[in-house]
Amino acid sequence: MPTRIIRSFADLDTMQGQTDHVLTLFSGGLDSSYVLKELAQRQLRVTALSVDVGEGCQLQDLQEIADFFGATLKVIDAREAFAHDAVAPAIRAQARYLGIYPVSSSLSRPILAKMAVKVARQLGCDAIVHTANQSQNSLRRLNGAIDQLGFEGCYGTPYERSVLTRDEKIEGLRLLGLTRFQARGISGDANLWCREFESGSLDNPEGFWIPPSLFEWTRAREIIPVTRKLQVEFRQGQPVAVDGEAMELVPLIAHLNETVGAFQIGRYSGLEHLAGGEKVLEVREAPAATLLMDAFRHLETAVLDAELLREKVALELLWTREAVEGRWFGTLRQSADAFIQQSSNKVTGSVTYQLRPGAMDICSIKASHPLYLTDRDSWEKALVNDSFAPPALWPTVQQREETFA
């Protein structure tokens, strides 16, 4: 049998004659196209799996590259699975990296891995190959998820130990007649929740430059309103409507990315650690995530007991750490998620914002079963009167609620 973990192109050599069918995650980018080349040169039977989590798939381009290397292309639309299985829990868990910016690839990689394992088992593939490298946290997130899902075959990335520059990969493909790839300094990753960028002019945290063209949702518009009111509604912890219009989660997120992003809200820059402790700079835009997590926090504060909230905040850090470290399907994150989901069942109501360039001002929090006061003077008078009344005359909880309704 070939080595269980694939770490280099030499490991692909050991698969020749021993591996019947390889599944490779395929985005149509340079790294995944170069891996197709390497697999084809070893005459391995290959299925190239493209999983759409919101970036969009250029089907014609994917098919042309797969055909060029004799691979079978399979495309899966996983936007709904990503939204409901990863984004919705992340909203409830307030999943921000060290409280700085919304996590993104920590959410998408487990979905990619889950789809890859599912398809590999359906097709009888005995190896899963991806294309993360040493400077990408996706390496441990994909490997971790595939392992936690109990995949029986080989898995991993040849780029873990076989290091090639972008120019070397471009030249290798060009020599075979595939000339569509160009030198590019900044690399990016996108899904319906977040668009993130690294490398190139972003390499050095001590002095970096962000090309304005990187941004799509938060790009400058020629004409936008000076201000705009926006209301988002939650039901049992799930966002369900914007401005009174019911929406499914995927179109709701897309709508907020455009609407909130038009005010250039939701840009982030920050450092993230690699497995060895080194730090790399990432830049991202996530307008929908910015507003939805903020709204959720305000609404849950309105309905949950203070001690419960304090415990939840501690578990949010645990939830996010396990996701970031590639232990999405581990018992610890799933246990934290169960607590967070249970506590979020009471989060029903709406939050209204006044959007203006670069800011979102909250102007209304309305919960279905609130703990907040709406009339402090009446509350204080009732509290004082109750304290001096005989116990037999003290109002019941229901009477108190009716008084303050």
Among 259, 232, 229, CA closest to 247: 232
Q: Please state, in angstroms and rounded to a whole number, the distance separating the CA atoms of residues 135 and 280.
A: 8
Rounded to whole angstroms, the Cα distance separating 183 from 262 reads: 30
CB 302 within 8 A of CB 310: no
Predicted structure pTM score: 0.91
Angle at 255 between CA 252 and CA 257, to 5 degrees: 110
In 3-state terms, what secondary structure has residue 399? helix
Smallest CA-to-CA distance from 116 within 21, 34, 199, 38 is with 21
Q: What is the pLDDT of residue 199?
A: 87
* Rounded Cα distance, 305 and 343, in Å: 10
CATH T-level topology, domain 5-184: Rossmann fold (3.40.50)
pLDDT in tens, 23-77: 999 999 999 999 999 999 999 999 999 999 998 778 899 999 999 999 999 999 9
376 is written with which tokens? Answer: 């402090």
**What are residue 102's DSSP bridge partners?**
96
Beta bridge partners of 101: 97
pLDDT at 194: 97
Query: Which regions of the chain are under pLDDT 70?
Result: 1-3, 183-184, 387-405
Question: Which of 373, 374, 351, 376 has the alpha carbon at shortest distance from 364?
Answer: 351
Query: What's the pLDDT score for residue 276?
Result: 87
pLDDT of residue 379: 85
Question: Is residue 84 a contact partner of residue 234, using CB atoms and an 8 Å limit?
Answer: no
State the span(s) of the chain assigned CATH 3.40.50.620.
Answer: 5-184
Residue 239 near residue 249 (C-beta atoms within 8 A): yes
- Give the length of the chain: 405
Write phi, then psi, for 273 (nearest 5 degrees).
-85, 150
Question: Hey, how many other C-beta atoms are within 10 angstroms of the C-beta on 383?
Answer: 10
Do residues 230 and 259 lie in contact, with contact meaning Cβ atoms separated by under 8 Å? yes
Q: Exposure of 98 by Cβ count < 10 A (0-12 exposed, 13-18 middle, 19+ buried)?
A: middle
Predicted pLDDT of residue 391 = 52
Strand order in the sheet with 195-198: 187-190, 195-198, 279-285, 267-273
What per-residue confidence (pLDDT) applies to 135? Answer: 79
Residue of 67, 55, 173, 145 whose CA lies nearest to 333: 145
Q: Where would I find the beta strands (DSSP E) of 62-126?
A: 72-77, 96-97, 101-102
Please state which CATH class domain 190-304+347-366 belongs to: alpha beta
pLDDT at 1: 42
Parts of the chain belonging to CATH 3.90.1260.10: 190-304+347-366
